[in-house]
Amino acid sequence: MEMMEDEERREDSHVYASSTAKTPNPNWTRFGGLHQPKTSATKTSRLGTLREEDSTLTPTSTLSDIPTITNAINGGKPPRNASADMPPPPARAIITPEVWNDDGYFDEKITVENEREEAFCVYRAADIGIIPDGDGKTVTTTTLVCLHGCPYSSLSWAPFVKEFRNKCKTQTKVEIYAIDLRHHGESISMRDGGSDFSLGRMVEDVAMILKHLFSQTEIDRKCVLIGHSMGASVASSLALREDMWTKNVNDKNEISLAGLIVVDVVEGSALKALPMMSLQLLNRPTSFRTMRDAFRWCLGFGGSTKSVESARISFPSQLHQKSNGNSSSFSDSNSEREDASSPFTFRCDVVKTEPYWKEWYLGMSERFLSAKTSKALLLAGTDRLDTPLTIAQMQGKFQMVVFPNSGHAIQEDEPEKFTQVVQDFLTRYVQN
């Protein structure tokens, strides 16, 4: 049910679009975790920290600085190992990974298995906010379900979770679930050979996971789906199939959809960008010799995030290191083995996602606008609204917020502002 007046929505459309903000490079758009030019419960201690003198580290280049896609590294040839032609980072640029339960991120790591013996990793942050006295009555929990983009992982939401914890002003109990979608992060699905990224399958996965999680506790829930890029397509589809994951959980509690937040993806611009995406994949490295090289790529040419602090928690979860047939994860350990014979490789094979790109985004605007709930669209630039969204935005059918200085992963680049927008959304449309 819509819960806001048209005039209120229009006023919300310019929260961070200040006249003094730097406008993103108009020659580039961002899509699905990749970039391309436009075409017309145990705590673990931290082993290392970013030293004070390192805090000013900035990438030597970003994708917005690159005028043409033909400027590939290694003389125009696709790099097979990013370390080979990458200049070493400055001697003082020591960046160490963080883990999921460090420094106020998540409280719990959960594994959910389905009937096909596929395992999905879920991180949970619980009991956030001011917990009201129920006076013997059932207290409704606001549940945020966060779905990452490709090829990110659930830890892409960690900077937002940390900020939300520190600055939460809500008067109701809040919990946050961040889910590793199939073939991302630490979710494991061996039966399809790591190649099934279909929208329908991912929707079924998340619905199964949510029903399992919600069945473990007798709590009334108002749920807000937050999806980034590819995850936004999954979230929009789930919003249209609410009964699939809110009904028949148990006989005692009420679970409902209370909001949908889409982060930096628009159907029209995404579909137009598809012809260039295969070329962009040629510039993507397949491995890194050390975690330092991986961080350098992430903060520079890779453009995963602009924030060193966000990269420390988010980017290592996209990689794994194989040695003697075994795979090691950085989600539970922040040590790095400097072993050139055991390179770091990506967990998600982005090449295998290519057959599904069109499916993810075709019809997404209609799905988003058709959802019978309060809606918000958060964008890193204003130039990518397609016609249906432009008309709907002018009619005040959803809240739009612009982050002109952010890259594609707004929740990582600007977690403070992102958190403020989410909290305002909850206060106005959910927790009333």
Q: Would you name the residues annotated as active-site residues? A: 229, 264, 408
Pull the structure tokens for residue 131: 């917990």
**Nearest of 147, 144, 164 to residue 104 by alpha carbon:** 164
Q: Amino acid identity of 232?
A: A
- Specify whether the CB–CB gap between 140 and 222 falls below 8 A: yes
d(CA 63, CA 27): 10
- What is the three-class DSSP state of 138? coil
Pull the structure tokens for residue 211: 């029903």
d(CA 176, CA 145): 6
- What is the three-class DSSP state of 52? helix
Q: In 10 A of CB 376, how many CB atoms? A: 22
Measured over the CA atoms of residue 372, residue 200, residue 251 and residue 179, the dihedral's sign is negative
Measured over the CA atoms of residue 201, residue 257, residue 246 and residue 175, the dihedral's sign is positive
Judge residue 119's burial from the number of C-beta atoms within 10 Å of its C-beta, 0-12 exposed, 13-18 middle, 19 or more buried.
Answer: middle
Helix (H) or strand (E) holding 112: strand 108-113
Pull the structure tokens for residue 2: 């819509």
- Specify whether the CB–CB gap between 378 and 418 falls below 8 A: yes
User: How does DSSP classify residue 247?
Assistant: S
Bridge partners, residue 188, by sequence: 119
Pairing state between β 375-379 and 399-402: parallel
Pairing state between β 344-346 and 287-288: antiparallel
Task: Note if the bond before 24 is cis, omega within 30 degrees.
Answer: no
Radius of gyration from C-alpha coordinates of the chain: 21
Give whole-number Cα distances, 359 to 233, 265, 355, 389, in Å. 9, 14, 8, 19
d(CA 86, CA 259): 44
**Nearest of 288, 81, 313, 80 to residue 185 by alpha carbon:** 313
